[in-house]
Structure 1
């Protein structure tokens, strides 16, 4: 398989996983032998994410030079995130109202999944309040935050550390060199980890298909089709218009990211490609200082695919139970999602936790989510892929907005892609 590219290897692992899972449906041996493969791959990815995020942000922020530049970059980044994620919520609501995926579905045909762990997390979030979530962005112990993989706290510390390092001038040069070395070394490690990706994908998909079966998709087929239709529309139309506005070769960018997009789709986790995404966007012409700032923050605040799905799924649950949602109620739902999708960023099982919190706030039955728990992995494959595309595009937009985009590097990258084709 070495002579084939990563995309082909991962896709092969995906197909083989589906076949094995379908053949050995409900067979406990699949979990016994395949689950460790997927678990090991996800652990390898989690192992490299934290050191890459810290070293990249420290190098990037210290390279910016001062707090004023960081403040300008931060404001423009968050403003862009808020506009695009709000647009994603609107698209989700529109598709849910136009195609009505929840109407005509017989509840007796649906099987329920276990959502108790998400309900418990939601109660903890609601009892602590969103103000506490903001407070917790500031870590009391950065090593504890690193151990937990608390990305928001890690980003906060790394930005402050980078600013402190920049203020030292020449005295900070040796430390900057150290973090640059750590960053370069970790990207090499990512190259080694990616060699295991096809096997990890095979294990993850095989276990999922074996557990839920192909048949579980039939009763909720309309929801799956409408969700993917909304995501494709959002990517082609909304991202396409943004690309046209900022003069970005959108399809060239997608072509460059094809390996990463197949990998994230296969694993249903955007985390698997975070290091490679940062590396690829630098090759596309985005400066390291912006790439290392925008992408890690985007992984918690710019989840376009997730917010679109959350809006669509909330209306789906209302339709499932025959609950009328007038325009005023849907506007309230939009405002609730604008808060909840940002307020609990970084919580494990984010999409389900956000949905549970949103349904509770909107007065909709939270038990409705149990009916779609079985197909959530399939939907998450699309959500994660759109999230990655959204963060890649955001990096280019902010780079151009800050007038730091390298057009020559971009032209060389696109020329290389054409020659490779």
Structure 2
């Protein structure tokens, strides 16, 4: 007797108030209101702890995720040359796109000289801590610090670059073991499944974290904190938007998709970053979504974690733009040679910045101290609004790293275009993370 195929019942649409990005957006708005209306409440230790606690929860699992995804991605590749090829392509892409970000910030800073006539007296003491950290961040030390003293120490301190180095070496070792390493590879895959399950649980607290972070920010700094520096914020926002639409948009068009559809696709992660001011808070979910979008698993595992230290487009724009702004505000005329020095120095200092809030300010101190030490006290001018600018730095960074993974997958001929278009054209993108969808 012939069997009649029956279509699987369609899943009922998710109620709007259960969608993660809607919850995060509402939490951000409520947090802003609380910060404006009840600043004393918003700046309490408990409210601040909501945002800080959520970021700590995410950072808690970043190291095992980076280790598992990178190790597994390399170990499952049969050809060792492919890993090196992907790494070289990623670094070439990072340097070219980062150069465009630096140049765009420099051009906009010269065209719109918003710093001239700014009557602000810098206070060197306000940024002394950042300057000390910057002075300690020498280029040679940065490369030496990539090598951990011990493997356990790299994991214990949560240094992503050190863990990344060990994961690459461990992945090659597993690859060389061949069939003998099969069980260990499977164990690492299982650990990754479990860790992504932890992420799924943590993400339920994203609205609470976004509320706490936004309430504290508005309560502490308030609309008045913007003051006459609103022009710099607006210029930075506009420059970052121009970079995303023009530069990243052109890259997306070369691959064959729309940058606007991609932004909609990662809207959950963008709102989480907006609430926490840290692009690292959305790293695990971004990696999952990129694989769902048809990107090669090994490419995602290599490009995205590496990009968080080597492909910080928002931080690059900020450094050149802020350097010119400070010079203009202090009445220091930078020569053409000094402006070229900004590009070269910023290209190096930005490599040590991660997606954590405040890292961009530290790299700015490192850049200023090399270009012209007289500019370092001027960091106090932008200190009060750095929190507002870190939002856009993080948003630009996460968008740039997402595009980088798609582009390198396309460059490797390992991008599933049908899956890509289907994912971008979906009217509703699932916001839950399936712990079994990543480590296939």
Q: TM-score, normalised by structure 2?
A: 0.90
Structure 2 CA distance for aligned equivalents of residues 351 and 70 of structure 1: 30
What is the CA–CA distance in structure 2 between the aligned matches of 1:339 and 1:47, rounded to whole Å? 28
C-alpha displacement at 1:417, in angstroms?
3.5
Equivalent residue, structure 1, for 2:275: 266
**What is the CA deviation profile of residues 329-359 of structure 1, one whole-angstrom value per residue up to 9, with x for unaligned ones?**
21121111112222x3459742112111111
Question: Which 10-residue stretch deviates more, 171-180 or 27-36?
Answer: 27-36
Q: Distance between the aligned counterparts of 2:350 and 2:297, measured in 1?
A: 27
Structure 2 Cα separation of the partners of residues 206 and 89 of structure 1: 32
In 2, are the aligned partners of 1:14 and 1:201 still within 8 Å (CA)?
Answer: yes
Q: State the 1:185 CA deviation.
A: 1.5
Q: Is it true that 1:78 corresponds to 2:91 in the alignment? A: yes
Contact 1:59 1:179 in 2 (8 A): yes
| 1:112, distance to aligned residue in structure 2 (A) | 8.2
**1:286-305 to 2 correspondence within 5 Å?**
286-305=295-314
Residue 151 (str. 1) matches residue 163 (str. 2):
no
Of 342, 349, 356, the residue aligned with 1:340 is: 349
Which position in structure 1 is the counterpart of 2:74? 61
Map 1:278-293 → 2, pairs under 5 A: 278-293=287-302
Pair 248,64 (structure 1): closer, same or farther in 2 beyond 3 Å: farther
CA contact (8 A) 1:113 1:372 kept: no
The SS at the match of 2:146 is: coil
Partner deviation per Cα, 1:154-192 (whole Å, 9 max, x = no partner): 000001101110111111111111111111111121111
- Residue 63 of structure 2 is matched in structure 1 by 50
Q: How far has the Cα of 1:327 moved from its partner?
A: 2.2
Which stretch of the first structure deviates more once superposed, 8-17 or 348-357? 348-357
Deviation of 1:399 after TM superposition, in Å, equals: 0.2
Give the 4+ runs in structure 1 shifted more than 6 A.
110-113
Match of 1:135 in 2: 144
Deviation track 1:372-408 (CA, whole Å, cap 9, x = no partner) reads 1111111010110000000000001100111111123
Compute the displacement of 1:67 (Å).
2.7
Q: Which residue, 333, 346, 367 being the options, matches 2:377?
A: 367
Evaluate the alpha carbon distance shift between residue 249 and residue 318 of structure 1 in structure 2; reply closer, same or farther with a 3 A threshold.
Answer: same
Corresponding residue SS for 2:90: helix
The match for 1:34 is 47
Distance 2:335 2:145 in 1: 36
Range that drifts further, 195-204 or 59-68 = 59-68
Quickly say closer, same or farther: Cα 1:418–1:201, change in 2 above 3 A.
Answer: closer
Which residue in the other structure is 1:390 paired with? 400
Does the aligned pair in 2 maintain the 1:256–1:417 contact within 8 Å?
no
- How far the C-alpha of 1:412 sits from its partner, in A, is 3.0
Sort the Cα spacing of 1:29 and 1:218 in 2 relative to 1 into closer, same or farther, 3 A: closer
Tell me the TM-score normalised to structure 1 length: 0.94
Question: Which of 19, 22, 41 is 1:8 aligned to?
Answer: 22
Equivalent residue pairs, number? 414
Q: CA deviation at 1:239?
A: 0.8
CA 1:219–1:418: 2 relative to 1, 3 Å: same
Shift in Å, 1:28: 6.5
Does 1:379 pair with 2:389? yes
Q: What residue is the counterpart of 2:245 in the other structure?
A: 236
CA deviation profile, 1:227-252 (whole Å, cap 9, x unmatched) = 00100110111111111222233222
State how far apart, in whole Å, the 1-side matches of 2:159 and 2:130 are: 18
> Does 2:132 match 1:123?
no
> Please, which runs of 5 or more residues in structure 1 have no aligned partner?
none
- Aligned pairs (5 A) from 1:214-253: 214-253=223-262
Give the direction of change, closer, same or farther, for the CA distance of 1:57–1:419 in structure 2 (3 Å limit): closer
1:18 corresponds, among 29, 32, 38, to 32
1:94 is aligned to 107
Identify the residue that residue 335 of structure 2 maps to in structure 1: 326
SS class of match (1:316): helix
